[in-house]
Amino acid sequence: MQEFSSNLDSMVKCPVCTKKYGKRDSLVLESTQRRSILHFTCKSCQMASLMFFSQQQDKIIGMGVLTDLSRLEIDKILNQEVVSANQILAVYNFFKNNK
């Protein structure tokens, strides 16, 4: 998957203005053997997007999402501690009991 990520910039276009992304437009946020998460910022229209790629057997599946988050904000979010089930239940109970 890492080899795929390094060649990706020549294949992906901005979903808003359809300009091709260059190497400087992309940031690999996470890359493993089977999946990658990349952040792109279009130098033409300044729109940002997140691209998720997953390799399954002999094919690669991708999904893109427009975002207003910067590269630094995305990196911070990805490195935060995972929310536990107990934390979710505590929030639910708080709102349930404080109507």
- pLDDT number for residue 92: 96
pLDDT at 93 over 90: yes
Cβ atoms 12, 40 nearer than 8 A: yes
- SS3 call for 40: strand
Helices (H) and strands (E) in the chain, counts: 3, 4
Residue 13 to residues 65, 69, 94: CA-CA distances in angstroms?
13, 18, 44
Q: Say what the pTM is.
A: 0.66
Handedness of CA 86, 88, 94, 97 (dihedral sign): negative
Q: What is the mean pLDDT of residues 25-41?
A: 87
pLDDT at 3 over 70: no
